[in-house]
Structures are given as C-alpha cells and as structure tokens.
Amino acid sequence: MKPTVVGMAVGAVLAFTALLFDFWGFLLMALFIAVGAFLGRAAEGKVDFRSVRDALTGRRSSS
C-alpha cells in the first residue's frame, strides 16, 4: 500500500476518533497508532533497537 493511502487512512481514523471521543480519546488513539507502527516496523526487522536506545538516552552516533 502506498504511503499516501496509509496516511489518508490514519488521518481518517484520527478524525473519526476526535469526533467520537473528544481530545483525550484522540490523543490516546494517536499514541496507539504510533506504538502499532513501531511494533510493525520491529516485526519487519526495520528497527535498529540499539540506535533507538541511543536516541532515547541522548547519545549520538556518526553512523
């Protein structure tokens, strides 16, 4: 699926959630989408956990 179509689908889901559940429901849905995207990329093997850990702890690498 193309990134544009995925972005449109995510936007539609977030807009629908904002209409139904107000602001906090919208934020919770956005958080779940972000976590789901991260887990999906991890399952595909496209996430380097060492670089994620370094970014969260404030370390930088030249590679």
Q: Token pair of 56, please?
A: 């969260």
Per-residue pLDDT reduced to its tens digit, 8-45 = 888 889 888 888 988 898 888 888 888 888 888 888 88
- pLDDT, position 6: 85
- pLDDT, position 62: 56
Distance CA 54, CA 11 (A): 30
33 with 40: CB under 8 angstroms? no
Is the model's pLDDT at 47 over the cut of 80?
yes
Note the helical H segments in 1-63. 3-44, 49-57
38-53 average pLDDT score: 84
